[in-house]
Every structure is written in C-alpha cells, then in structure tokens.
Amino acid sequence: MVVSDNGSELTSSAILVWQRRRGVEWHDTGLGKPAQYDFINTFNGGPSRFVCSGSFVLQLPLAVEAWRIEHKVSNSLLHVVE
C-alpha cells in the first residue's frame, strides 16, 4: 500500500502504470489533514537517513533497531501533541 499527499510527483503515467500492474493499493491523505502527512514523513524519513548514512549497509540490525526506537518515540510524541 502507498499513502501519498497526492503531490504532482506521484501522478506520472509511469507511476500509475506501475501501481496498476502490481496491484498496489493507493491512498491519499485527506485534504486538510496535515497530521497524516507529518506521520508519513516521519515514517519514511527514518529509513532514508540510515540508508544514506551508510550505517544501514554495515550494521543492518543496529540501524533497524535504532530507527524502530526513534520512530516509536517520535510517534508517541505526535499522540501527545494531538
């Protein structure tokens, strides 16, 4: 499943063909729901930082655990703010 903010970068013909061919469900965040967008960015940003830093390749178990802890803390803070 893909969840997006319905941005123009995800409306290309190639992306839509890929999605249909693979049977990937596509959901958009609701209009006027910025908290959903922030949650998605928090989730996607963690793994990206570890992949780009190089620690992902050399120390996969440690990187995954560190990301899991960071994500859990960030997610719990989002619930406190709401």
Q: Which residues pair with 3 in a beta bridge?
A: 27
pLDDT at residue 69, as a whole number = 83
Mean pLDDT of the chain: 68
Instruction: For 40-80, write each residue's pLDDT tens digit.
Output: 666 666 666 656 665 555 667 777 788 888 877 666 655 55
Q: 54, 40, 31: which is closest to 4 by C-alpha?
A: 40
Instruction: For 11-37, write each residue's pLDDT tens digit.
Output: 677 778 888 888 988 777 666 555 655
Q: Is this structure's pTM higher than 0.75?
A: no
Listed in sequence order, the DSSP H helices in the chain are: 13-22, 34-53, 55-58, 60-81
